[in-house]
Chain A
Amino acid sequence: MALTNESNEERPMRALFIDRIWPTLKVVISTIGSIAVTMLGLLFITFIIGRVMPIDPVLAIVGERASQAQYDEVYQQLGLDRPVIVQFLFYIWDVLHLDFGISVLNARPVSEDIARVFPATLELATIGIIIGIVTGVPLGVLAAVNKGTWIDQIARLVALIGYSMPIFWLGLIGLLVFYGILGWVGGPGRVGIFYVDVVPSVTGLILVDALLDGNWDVFKSAFSHIVLPASLLGYYSLAYISRMTRSFMLEQLSAEYVTTARVKGMSEWNVVWKHAFKNIRVQLITVIALSYAGLLEGSVLTEIIFSWPGIGSYITTALLSADMNAVLGGTVVVGLIFILLNVLSDMLYKIFDPRAK
């Protein structure tokens, strides 16, 4: 009696584990494994770059006029007397503890600097990708539905122009026209000069901080500053997202189930959005994740044009002043985000597609 009772209760548990939990767990384990390997590769590359640098890290710290003894002391402190493989292991250890070394430029830990500048990039790229999705997806669907017509041609041209514009140049022209001539938007920087550091930094996202503080003037100023660079980034993701949406949609629109939906007597609008579009949502997630990652990095040039104090500006400034710890730290962080977004989109794919289970 007791035996049957137990097995009756246990069987659904075991079935649940085998059917639902184990496949998910397998995905998670293999994902973590692939993140680890890719991360290791990334660190290896940055380590190599750091090693072949023509700049002597010891000299950068002690200065040109240091004595040989001082030089040797720092040389040992940095662990440069140890074998390369040991140095690499130490490097991994440091990075795992979010220790990217000290910035030569301002003598602060690089990780603190990155934590400070990163929200600015995040804010810019997030608004950019939202603009890109809101405009790119409908444009791509429209182009696919009207394949071969002038609407398709215009969508194609809009995307091709996006692919062909140097972003830093478009940023300059945008500043010239909308700030210099028309005066519709704020100029370079995140907020107007009178509003800098007015609201307390809670999230680091200035729009959110201003809202939390209830300071509308700061919000308006920040908004007028972010509109132009975010629209630029949005246009770049629009180009990619709309092209990919179009080709995914074309594939679905030629599928037989679309004919089924038409045979049922559905309106073309519902055929497109309720049936065909449902089938590309999962693929779109991947595209959006990739272009979001692209924006986080693509903001390097945009940030310079708009004097945006984000990670792109940070890396470039560090680069021009040979602050190698800052450059490599920034590169690792951007690379890590890139990898995580890739992995995330992979996982979402496996979770949301009923066929992937």
Chain B
Amino acid sequence: METLLDVENLWVKFPSRQGVFDAVRGVSFTLGRERLGIVGESGSGKSMTGRAILRLIRKPGIVEADHIKLDGVDLLTKTEKEMRAVRGQRISMVMQDPKFSLNPVMTIGSQIIEAYRLHNSASKADAYRKSLEMLEAVSINDPERVMRAYPHEMSGGMGQRIMIAMMLIPNPEILIADEPTSALDVSVQRQVLDIMDKLVKERGMGLIFISHDLNLVADFCDRVLIMYAGRVVEVCEADKLHDAKHPYTRGLLNSLPRLDQPSKRLEVLQRDPEWSQTPSVSGRI
């Protein structure tokens, strides 16, 4: 499979008064035209990994890696200005809650048009037309009204579809979806996922799907990295997730209720301090 992104030995560090805190510790993986899931509990460093790829870790945070190669070019050697041509146009990201990730005082139209015009020298009219098409592509029925609306007038599901439209309009090769459905009502989660899946497939993109939801990831992705305390503890094919071997993954699976195997009592996850000591498992192919 063609490799889009190749990450080797990625570290994210935050210096603090008590010493350096490592949020991500030596994570390696590759991404092709596939759906790669990253699962972990909050604080496991999964979101940091996504943001580190875009070099969006804010000071005083530090990103270190042997390389983060996009089509063979190391992103870490790029200047900030060159990085801006990567962001949006080649790698994009959808965040958790559209309530916060859309600018509340700008109309939705102006935000989508802006995303398009940042990377395409199109006239305003062309950008407008293109935005309408994109909104239709994410199944929004009355795109013209939505273009004029403000984010607070949208429901969560609508907001997230708008977010997907905005992030895909420059036609990037890779989309990072950081808990894209966690803030949504259960009833619309599936719909948003399906739309995202369809677009990613149609365009032959690579998708990094970050989530805390094991079942969702097993369902939705091709391959899964399981992270714990900044490290990748296990890598496996998504359909074989239920046969995972690492005690952490097993513990997570056992702490979920299952309809097909009802049990009287759910297990409580027992953590072994050794897990956070052993080096990261590589997710490179």
Contact = CB atoms under 8 A, between A and B. Distances in A.
Given A256-B95, A278-B106, A355-B150, A264 B101 contact: no
Contact of A260 (B81, B102, B119): B102
A261 B101 CA distance: 9
Contacts of A259: 51, 56, 95, 101
A265 B97 contact: no
Interface in A241-258: 255-257
Contacts of A354: 104-105, 150, 152
Contact of B92 (A261, A263, A282): A263
A259 B88 CA distance: 12
B132 interface: no
A265 B100 contact: no
Contacts of A279: 103-105
B181 interface: no
Nearest to A147: B59
A262 interface: yes
A257 B100 contact: yes
B100 A256 contact: yes
B89 interface: yes
B100 A263 contact: no
A263 B103 CA distance: 13
A49 B105 CA distance: 46
Contact of A278 (B89, B105, B166, B167): B105
Contacts of B119: 265
Interface in B65-103: 80-81, 84-89, 92-93, 95-97, 100-103
B115 interface: yes
Q: Summarize A's interface: helix, strand, loop or mixed.
A: helix
B100 A255 contact: yes
Nearest to B163: A260
A322 to B, nearest CB: 53
B19 to A, nearest CB: 19
A73 interface: no
**Size band of the interface chain A makes with B:** 20 to 34
Contacts of A266: 84, 114, 118
B224 interface: no
A264 B88 contact: yes
Contacts of A265: 84-89, 118-119, 170
B103 A278 contact: yes
Interface string B141-177: 0000000001010000000000100110010000000
B88 A263 contact: yes
B103 A264 contact: no
Interface string B110-122: 0000110011000
B54 interface: yes
A281 B152 CA distance: 18
Contacts of B81: 267
A266 B106 CA distance: 16
A353 interface: yes
A268 B84 CA distance: 10
Nearest to A149: B59
B174 to A, nearest CB: 12
A263 B93 contact: yes
Contact of B104 (A261, A262, A268, A355): A355
Nearest to A257: B103
A275 interface: yes
A140 B143 CA distance: 38
Contacts of A268: 80
A273 to B, nearest CB: 13
Interface in B43-68: 51, 54, 56
A77 to B, nearest CB: 59
Contact of B56 (A257, A263, A353, A355): A263
A330 B84 CA distance: 58
A281 B105 CA distance: 10
A260 to B, nearest CB: 5
B92 A257 contact: no
24 contacts: A255-B100, A256-B95, A256-B101, A257-B100, A259-B51, A259-B101, A260-B95, A261-B103, A262-B87, A263-B54, A263-B88, A263-B92, A263-B93, A264-B87, A264-B114, A265-B87, A265-B88, A266-B84, A268-B80, A275-B103, A282-B105, A353-B105, A354-B150, A355-B104
Interface of B: 51, 54, 56, 80-81, 84-89, 92-93, 95-97, 100-106, 114-115, 118-119, 150, 152, 163, 166-167, 170
Given A256-B100, A278-B103, A355-B152, 9 more contacts: A257-B100, A257-B102, A257-B104, A260-B101, A261-B103, A263-B87, A266-B118, A279-B104, A354-B105
